[in-house]
Amino acid sequence: MKKMMSDNYAVYLPAVNAGYASIMTKPVPVGRPFPNTLKLDDLMFWKGNNKLFYHPHFLNSVGLYEIGSTPDNAITRRGRTDGTLFGDSGGFQIGFGTIGLKTLQPAMEAEAACLAWREAYELKQWIVGFLETYTNYAMTIDVPLWTPTKPASPFYKCTPEQLTDLTVENLQFIDSHRKGQTKWLNIIQGVDVPNAKKWWDAVKWFKGSGYSISSIIGRQNGVGTLLELLLIMRDEKAFDAGNDWLHLLGISTAPWAIMFTAIQKGLQASANPNLRISYDSASPFLEAGKWDLMTILPDLNGNVDSWIMQKESIPQCRSFLNSPIPLASMLSSAAVSPIAKKLTLGHLNVNDDDGIDTRRQLDTLSSMLITNHNVWTYLETFRQANELAFELKSNRVPSVYKEVIDAIDYVFNAENWASALMQERALLDNFKG
């Protein structure tokens, strides 16, 4: 089956959650309506023989699981050739203290928080073992620099220097425990360039297969700031052969999708023709599972607002129980996902509660079916956005986005990139996606 995304474009990694991964290992409940032509494992879009759509790149986080556990789900059961799995090391959960380490408490004294983390040997051993066992690429273990802005974080009172020191110790732990079964991506944190440069100088000794960068630096300060950091790294040989992957954490918008492709083209031309860029989010899963929302394919055109993902509530009502009405007929977009073409409202509305019209007629499987639709919609949106920007060079791309892409290309090709970046700084920093 043809892949959803061309290798010429930066690649989106849907961040598969534990619920989605586990439901595919269970049978459809007896008597529950389900499309006759499908099986639950058809929701595994990363498998090459998928009946719905094929996208081999995806992400899963160790932060979703209990420390020391061996989860049994579609991800841990997969063969290592079934797609390319990127493992997140749980930095988000570490930062907020929700990783499951009981010695970490909100807003601890800095020294106590550092000591608790330094003594978490079994946790770090489990994280490294999990990532080495199941993933093709893995993020290194960081203690994020954003924690001092979060009062609920155990590391709220820590200094950037303390957080950097803890992360360097994590790298030393990985370096002494890794077995060569996954490709490590060295995480770079920072909220601005000086901040990120200090982190980079502290961690660049660690040799992996590429890097993963906090998206905060671009979302907060604009693409110019991200570009400056990447060019500093490039000049220090960060993206030479062997360091073939660059991941941007936690971002998934159509405007950023085309900017990441523009940056990928620049780095391929100036540093490493084999380099790929990826970006991720859990948005398709949260929208369906937490907020009962379906993502609608946007009508990308020259208006900036048209490049924003649209959402609609999943139709649910007791009158839809056993309904043959096609889900596709309820969607505002003419282009719908492969699974939406197979679903009826009766496949989603299954809760009856003895005739009581409850607010929620959906069950967990309903959410998973819509999640599959949402993942396809995100991928198709990014595919169309990249095709419009780089293949068709269409006027359906807003002029300001075209200007930013041209500025990225100009900076990468300039003899003096710092001077070129200064010329384009206002335009580039104004883009935050």
Other CB atoms within 10 A of residue 169 CB: 16
* pLDDT tens digits along 191-226: 899 999 999 999 999 999 999 998 888 888 899 999
Is 357 a residue whose pLDDT tops 60?
A: no
pLDDT at residue number 257: 97
Only one residue has tokens 């979302």, namely 219
pLDDT at residue number 33: 95
* pLDDT tens digits along 304-353: 999 999 999 999 988 899 999 999 998 877 678 999 999 999 999 998 76
Mean pLDDT of 42-67: 94
Task: Report DSSP state, residue 387.
Answer: I
* pLDDT tens digits along 117-157: 999 999 999 999 999 999 999 999 999 999 999 999 999 99
Alpha carbon distance 162, 157 (integer Å): 10
Q: What angle do CA 141, 146, 147 make, to 5 degrees?
A: 80
Torsional class of 163: left (φ above 0), alpha (ψ -120 to 50), beta (otherwise): alpha
Other CB atoms within 10 A of residue 338 CB: 16
pLDDT at residue number 351: 85
Is 354 a residue whose pLDDT tops 60?
A: no
Q: CB-based burial of residue 73 (10 Å sphere; 0-12 exposed, 13-18 middle, 19+ buried)? A: buried
| pTM to 2 decimal places | 0.95
- For 307, residues 6+ apart whose C-beta sits below 8 A from its C-beta are 253, 254, 255, 298, 300, 385, 398, 401
- CA-based radius of gyration for the chain: 22
Full 3-state SS string of 34-54:
CCCCCCHHHHCCCCCCCCCCE
Please tell me whether residue 249 adopts helix, strand or coil conformation.
Answer: strand
pLDDT > 70: percent of the chain = 98
**Mean pLDDT score of the chain, rounded to an integer?**
94
pLDDT at residue number 339: 96
* pLDDT tens digits along 219-277: 888 999 999 999 999 999 999 999 999 999 999 999 999 999 999 999 999 999 999 99
The number of residues making up the chain comes to 433
List 79's β-bridge partners, or say none.
none
pLDDT at residue number 431: 94
Alpha carbon distance 272, 240 (integer Å): 6
Is 390 a residue whose pLDDT tops 60?
A: yes
Strand locations in 175-297, DSSP E?
A: 183-188, 210-214, 245-249, 276-281, 293-296
- For 3, residues 6+ apart whose C-beta sits below 8 A from its C-beta are 54, 55, 56
